[in-house]
Amino acid sequence: MAEDFNARVVREFRENAGKVGPPFTGLPMVLLHHVGARSGTERITPVRWFADGDRRFVVASAAGAPTHPAWYHNLMATPDVVVEIADGDGNVETTPVHAEDLTGDERDRLWNRILENEGGFAAYQRKVEGIRTIPLVALVPR
């Protein structure tokens, strides 16, 4: 049976100290551990992260799908999770974080920065215009 996309990215991330190949080559990634809000099942989702000073945040774009990704709902239900993240020295660290939904001016400032620099996210925004606001979630170390 073929390995699914997320499983392949998780494997690559762990085997290569946080580096993965296409379509994420050279992009900062995090493995987000979360618990299914309904199922209670532990899940791991690879997600690209962005920096805002010393803080990291992720984008719940779901590639422009009409609904938020499941991992976003899971984080809102159980915000204390762990992430696996490359430390820059060839190691992957597991770090406990608290997920915080970014809103208002803070969300808009960060989202506008992403839209100016990341063409793919602008395409996702066009797909969901009038349907949903793409959430940004801070991953605050705890």
> For the domain that residue 135 is a member of, what is the CATH number?
2.30.110.10
Task: Give the number of domains in the chain.
Answer: 1
Question: What's the predicted TM-score (pTM) here?
Answer: 0.93
C-alpha distance from residue 89 to each of 14, 33, 38, 93 (Å)? 14, 22, 37, 10
Residues 6 or more apart whose CB falls under 8 angstroms from that of 131 comprise 66
Which domain does 59 fall in, by range? 5-141
* pLDDT tens per residue across all 142 residues of the chain: 456 999 999 999 999 999 999 999 999 999 999 999 999 999 999 999 999 988 999 999 999 999 999 999 999 999 999 999 998 888 999 999 999 999 999 999 999 999 999 889 999 999 999 999 999 999 999 9
Q: What's at 5, amino acid-wise?
A: F
